[in-house]
Chain A
Amino acid sequence: MDDSKQIVVTATNRQAPVIEPGHSFASVTDKISAIVLTRPTSNGWFVGFGVSFLLLMGMLYAVGYLFLKGVGIWGVNIPVGWGFAIVNFVWWIGIGHAGTLISAILLLLRQSWRNSINRFAEAMTLFAVAAAGMFPLLHLGRPWLFFWLFPYPNTMNYWPQFRSPLVWDVFAVSTYFTISLLFWFIGLIPDLATLRDRSENRWARMIYGMLAMGWRGSARHWARYETSYLLLAGLATPLVLSVHTVVSFDFAIGIVPGWHTTIFPPYFVAGAIYSGFAMVLMLAIPIRKFYGLEDFITERHLQNSAKVMLATGLIVAYGYAIEAFMGWYSGNRYDAYTLWNRLHGPYAFFYYMLLACNIFVPQVLWIRKLRKSPPALFLISGVILVGMWLERFIIVVVSLQRDFLNSSWGMYYPTRWDWMTYIGTIGMFLCAMFLFVRILPMISIFEMRTLLPQAEVKE
Chain B
Amino acid sequence: MKRTLIYGLMAEFDNPTDLVAAARQTYEAGYKKIDAYSPFPIEELGEAIGFHKNAVPLVVLIGGILGGLTGYLMQYWIATISYPINIAGRPMHSWPSFIVVTFEMTILFAGISAVFGMLALNGLPMPYHPVFNVPRFAFATKDRFFLIVFSSDPKYDTASTRAFLEALRPRSLSEVPG
Contacts and interface: CB of A to CB of B under 8 A. Distances in A.
Interface size classification for chain B: 35 or more
A242 B103 contact: yes
A161 B124 contact: no
Contacts of B110: 231, 235
Contact of B124 (A178, A196, A213): A213
Q: SS class of chain A's interface: helix, strand, loop or mixed? A: helix
The listed residue with most B CB atoms (<10 A of its CB), out of A151, A219, A228, A458, is A219
Given A175-B108, A222-B38, A223-B46, A215 B124 contact: yes
A408 to B, nearest CB: 22
Nearest to A194: B141
Contacts of A220: 35, 46, 49, 51, 122
Given A159-B82, A214-B127, A219-B36, A228 B114 contact: yes
Interface stretch (A21-29, A391-399, A416-424): A21-29
A458 B57 contact: no
A454 B42 CA distance: 12
Contacts of B44: 457
B98 A182 contact: no
B83 to A, nearest CB: 4
Interface in A433-458: 446-447, 449-450, 454-458
Interface of A: 24-26, 29, 151, 157-163, 165, 167-168, 171-172, 175, 178-179, 182-183, 185-186, 190, 193-194, 196-198, 209-210, 213-228, 231-232, 235-236, 238-239, 242, 246, 249, 446-447, 449-450, 454-458
Interface of B: 15-17, 20, 23, 35-46, 48-49, 51, 54-57, 60, 64, 74-75, 78-79, 82-83, 85, 87, 90, 94, 97-98, 100-101, 103-105, 107-108, 110-112, 114-115, 117-119, 121-122, 124-129, 131-132, 137-143
B104 A216 contact: no
A456 B119 CA distance: 27
B106 to A, nearest CB: 9
Contacts of A193: 141
A249 B98 CA distance: 14
Contacts of A457: 16-17, 20, 42-44
B41 A222 contact: yes
B3 to A, nearest CB: 21
A366 to B, nearest CB: 37
A221 B140 CA distance: 14
Nearest to B55: A224
Contacts of B55: 224
B112 A182 contact: yes
B141 A222 contact: no
A446 B38 CA distance: 10
A223 B94 CA distance: 43
25 contacts: A25-B39, A26-B143, A159-B78, A159-B82, A182-B115, A183-B111, A190-B40, A197-B138, A215-B124, A218-B35, A219-B23, A219-B36, A219-B42, A221-B122, A222-B46, A224-B54, A224-B56, A224-B121, A227-B118, A228-B60, A228-B117, A232-B114, A238-B103, A242-B107, A447-B40
B13 to A, nearest CB: 12
Contacts of A235: 60, 64, 107, 110-111, 114
A231 B107 CA distance: 11
Given A216-B129, A222-B46, A197 B38 contact: no
